[in-house]
């Protein structure tokens, strides 16, 4: 299972989180976010990471030109779209960056959102389901209604996000079987400052699950 820790802002934390077992690190490329990092900051963090992990840039409301400019300059291996991007936008981006993993995030307010996902299947590589918040796009600490997702079985891989913590991840993975999980606020001291004790505990718990 893929384990993504999102909202990385500190070089030393990126390296240690990769060492602990994360398979993906997320970088917020949305200027309005408290976890926002510039191109230069991403470059600095990426240079510190010696392990092979997925490097995911999270965008919302960015245009194709902006994304195409940032990706090669930073070494990102994946793009996560976390706004209201259309299937057509995803198609154009996938054509422009064919070797980059394209992840489309959806904030699940109700069951109707799940119905709206299918037009994206042909144009993205991976889905991400996050909790809905009326003002914030992600990293809110809000938890998804896992029971409402028990029948969710898309034909492509998907991440479960939304309020996951070391304390509730077992409950989430007992009910659901995502391809990966995505944590941000659930392993933080404050936005962008990860609590490495919580991150370590997360991987200890996941190891216990795998051992069963």
- Shortest CA distance to 130 belongs to which of 100, 158, 88? 158
Task: Look at residue 42 and tell me whether its pLDDT is greater than 80.
Answer: yes
Question: Which domains, from first to last, does the chain contain?
Answer: 2-211 (3.20.20.70)
Mean pLDDT of 87-97: 98
39 in Cβ contact with 74 (< 8 Å): yes
Distance CA 113, CA 117 (A): 7
123 vs 141 pLDDT, higher one = 123
Higher pLDDT, 212 or 185: 185
Cβ atoms within 10 Å of 192's Cβ, excluding its own: 19
| Cβ neighbours for 95, distance < 8 A, ≥ 6 positions apart | none
What Cα–Cα distance (Å) separates residue 169 from each residue in 103, 174, 179? 22, 8, 14
**pLDDT band (50, 70, 90) for residue 131:** confident
The separation between the first and the last C-alpha atoms of the chain, rounded to the nearest angstrom, is 15
Residues 201, 82, 54, 122, CA torsion sign:
positive
Helix (H, G, I), strand (E, B) or coil at 203: helix
- What backbone torsions phi and psi does residue 9 show, to the nearest 5 degrees? -130, -15
pLDDT at 14 over 90: yes
Give the mean model confidence (pLDDT) for residues 131-138. 56
pLDDT band of residue 93 (cuts 50, 70, 90) is: very high
Check residue 89 and give its pLDDT: 98
Whole-number pLDDT of residue 26 = 98
The confidence band for 147, taking pLDDT boundaries of 50, 70 and 90, is confident
Confidence of residue 113 (pLDDT cuts 50, 70, 90): confident
């Amino acid at each position: 299972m893929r384990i993504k820790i999102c909202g990385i802002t500190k070089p030393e934390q990126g390296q240690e989180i990769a060492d602990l077992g994360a398979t993906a690190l997320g970088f917020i490329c949305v200027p309005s976010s408290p976890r926002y990092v510039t191109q230069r900051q991403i470059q600095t963090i990426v240079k510190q990471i010696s392990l092979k992990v997925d490097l995911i840039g999270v965008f919302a409301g960015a245009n194709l030109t902006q994304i195409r400019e940032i990706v090669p300059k930073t070494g990102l291996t994946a793009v996560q779209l976390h706004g209201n991007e259309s299937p057509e936008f995803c198609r154009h981006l996938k054509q422009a960056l064919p070797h980059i993993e394209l992840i489309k995030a959806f904030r699940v307010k109700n069951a109707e959102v799940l119905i709206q996902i299918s037009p994206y299947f042909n144009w993205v590589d991976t889905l991400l389901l996050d909790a809905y918040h009326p003002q914030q796009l992600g990293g809110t600490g809000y938890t998804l209604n896992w029971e409402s997702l028990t029948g969710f079985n898309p034909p492509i891989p998907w991440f479960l996000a939304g309020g996951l913590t070391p304390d509730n991840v077992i409950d989430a993975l007992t009910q659901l079987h995502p391809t990966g999980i995505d944590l941000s606020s659930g392993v933080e001291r404050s936005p962008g400052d990860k609590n490495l004790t919580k991150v370590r505990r997360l991987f200890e718990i996941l190891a216990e699950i795998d051992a069963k």
